[in-house]
Structure 1
Amino acid sequence: MLDQLWNSWGASVIGPLHVKAGIPNQDSWMARRYKWGNVVVVSDGLGSKAHSDHGSKAACLAVFEAAKSYQNTPDANIVDILRLIHANWLVKIAPYSSTDCSATCLFAIQIEGIITLGRLGDGMIAALGETGENHLILSDNKQASFSNYTNSLQQEFKPDQWETATIESTACNAVVLCTDGISDDLLPEKQMTFAQELYSTYADLESEEIKRDLKRWLNEWPVPGHSDDKTIACLFKKGGSQ
């Protein structure tokens, strides 16, 4: 089965600013393997929101629930899935209000031969193809943007704010997802190289070794003055070409 080819890793570290302020890590990530496929999600709770850490965890769980429904309804289109993620999130943030829990949401859902990608708000998704022609990036070029507004899960469902893509899993080696604590520090032209190097570094390592090394370099982030939480996750094909 195709899903047996895939595995995942990820890590999240709290930003120096939040450590000083005594604020919890507002990022979340989760990855799960099911009999029918794999799901990987990262989410960044908006810093100005009182319960954004709760909102980001709810976003990850909301995607899992939607993916389970998705694999049972093959005729569903992507907007149906996004609407379901949004509805699930509103349920899972209880007892808090949506205005206190706003969070971004980036996901990869692999079901049989298709990987569905979705991105709401800041952060980056990089899909590494078997060849350069199959590479795909979903991200903002922050260097060209002066807006501080971040799209996020909130009370109203706004499908036009989502960026989505579907790719054939046979043409893909890995999907790297990260919050803006990482992607904002990467030049746009370096984003794919960054993802490729990560995949090459960790493709053949054991999960515990990967987790230790990820935490180490996230905590030693080399950009001066960085302050944000940092979260990264990867869905990768075992034994894929490097």
Structure 2
Amino acid sequence: MRIGGISFKGKNQDKNQDSYLFWKSKNKKLIVLSDGLGSRKYSEIGSKTICETIKQITQETNFEDNFDIKDFLSEIHKTWIKKILEKNINIKDCYATVLFCIFCKDKIISVRLGDGFIAFYDENNEYILYDKKEKNFVNETNSISEKFSLNDWEIKILKIQEFKGALICTDGVEIVNNNYNNFSKEFLNAYSNKKIKYVKKDIKRWFSEWSDHDDKTLVYMLGWRGKKIWMEI
């Protein structure tokens, strides 16, 4: 399985407030990204810290026996708070979205808090997690902050026998008509047989052709080489 990611700072931004991270071991694979809220002074620190925190807690967690998602997310939140306070920074200045996928053996855990989307695929099905905003709330989003509420997190945990791939994007990656499914299938099919070096180079090419006002970040897991996503005809 090949995993990777890429991020670009928007031209309208003084600094890239997005962060991402990918990591794998023999039994676990992780992709995570976070978009720091633009209105917050140190949101890039908040986004970087949450990515590092999720990696740490993932490494420490046994996902096989008596795994409890609420305890897992609560520990992530508590550890993130502690790390931010150790930097002598106000939590209010560090709000950020959180999106990640963990693949372990035959299970995938996908979690979204705030803007952006996650798409992943098994042998027959597609799963999309995104913020289904009402018209009057398009500029509002959930984020990691002082308080933890499980209701704010969108969570999907599934047993998967044949994993095909996963893609996570910040909302800076502009998808035509919000058609996340088509974009994700095209992405994963296009790179199903490619090496990571080629994938990253090609993403840079088409990212440069897009509007570049906002930060743009994506991370991906590509399934077994040559295994294409099932496409609806």
TM-score (norm 2): 0.90
Matches within 5 A, 1:28-107: 28-71=19-62, 74-93=65-84, 94-95=86-87, 96-107=89-100
| Pair 141,227 (structure 1): closer, same or farther in 2 beyond 3 Å | farther
Deviations 1:170-205 (A, max 9, x none): 24311110101115x4323x2111001111111222
Q: Which residue of 2 aligns with 1:237?
A: 223
Q: CA deviation at 1:69?
A: 2.4
Structure 2 gap segments, 5+ residues each:
none
**Aligned Cα root-mean-square deviation (Å):** 1.7
- CA distance in structure 1 between the partners assigned to 2:119 and 2:188 by the alignment: 11
Q: Which residue of 2 aligns with 1:137?
A: 128
Q: CA deviation at 1:168?
A: 2.3
Which of 171, 185, 190 does residue 196 from structure 1 map onto? Answer: 185
Percent identity at matched positions? 33
Matched, 1:212 2:201: yes
Q: Which residue of 2 aligns with 1:125?
A: 118
- CA distance in structure 1 between the partners assigned to 2:73 and 2:44 by the alignment: 21
Conserved 8 A contact 1:45-1:55: yes
Which of 2, 8, 14 does residue 9 from structure 2 map onto? Answer: 14
- SS for the counterpart of 2:140 is coil
Structure 1 gap segments, 5+ residues each:
1-5
- CA distance in structure 1 between the partners assigned to 2:64 and 2:186 by the alignment: 36
Conserved 8 A contact 2:188-2:228: no
- CA distance in structure 2 between the partners assigned to 1:113 and 1:73 by the alignment: 10
- CA distance in structure 2 between the partners assigned to 1:117 and 1:141 by the alignment: 17
Residues matched between the structures, number? 225
TM-score (norm 1): 0.87
Q: CA deviation at 1:212?
A: 1.5
Q: Which residue of 1 aligns with 2:17?
A: 26
Q: Which residue of 2 aligns with 1:178?
A: 169
Conserved 8 A contact 1:13-1:219: no
Q: Which amino acid aligns with 2:182?
A: T
Q: Whose helix fraction is larger, Structure 1's or Structure 2's?
A: 1
- CA distance in structure 1 between the partners assigned to 2:54 and 2:160 by the alignment: 19
Conserved 8 A contact 2:22-2:31: yes
Q: Which residue of 2 aligns with 1:3?
A: none
Q: Which amino acid aligns with 2:112?
A: R
Q: Which residue of 1 aligns with 2:104?
A: 111
